[in-house]
Amino acid sequence: MKGLGNRDLPALVVLSLLRIYSIIQWRLGPKKLPNLCSWIGRLLGPVIDSYHGIPLRKKLHSQLQGTVVKGSLIEVLNLVDDPNHRREDETGFRNDLIEYASMNAEIAELALTSDGQSRESLKTANRISAGVSLFIAILIITMMIIVA
């Protein structure tokens, strides 16, 4: 449950309900409750969607259908609230955030660098064109003096 944040309140409610029913099934039986399991299974969308990784979510959705058919709420709980899944998902999400921030920094640096290069190129082009214009003006004045 530590992996769930405030934005996941519906997931937290459904997960709490699943935990209570799992404990009741574990202590009192019966071993199979297919209808109750099916009903809870339909409510577990927010719990699965609380994971960040899309491949993991797809995997859990597909495994959930097979687990629900067995009728064991305990197995369903173990599937959707596995601490290892939460840890791997959180680690992967953190790594993705770091990579995203790194890429954004690189993009910003490239934008500044290319912008700086563009400015420097523009200054150089202006200097060259001023020099060429001056040379042409001197050439024309010299030709006018020679002709006159």
In this predicted structure, what is the pLDDT of residue 76? Answer: 92
More confident residue, 125 or 121: 125
Q: What is the rounded radius of gyration, in angstroms, for the C-alpha atoms of the chain?
A: 34
**Considering only 93-97, 127-131, 142-146, which range has the smallest mean pLDDT?**
142-146
Kindly indicate the confidence band of residue 119, based on its pLDDT and cuts at 50, 70 and 90.
Answer: confident
Cα separation of 75 and 93, whole Å? 26
User: How much is the average pLDDT of 55-76?
Assistant: 90
* pTM metric for this prediction: 0.61
Residues 40 and 17: beta-carbon distance below 8 Å: yes
Check whether 115 has a pLDDT greater than 80: no
What residues have CB less than 8 Å from 31, skipping those under 6 apart? 25, 71, 72
Kindly indicate the confidence band of residue 144, based on its pLDDT and cuts at 50, 70 and 90.
Answer: confident
Q: Is 20 exposed, middle or buried (0-12, 13-18, 19+ CB in 10 A)?
A: exposed
Burial profile 105-137: b = 16 or more Cβ within 10 angstroms, e = fewer: eeeeeeeeeeeeeeeeeeeeeeeeeeeeeeeee
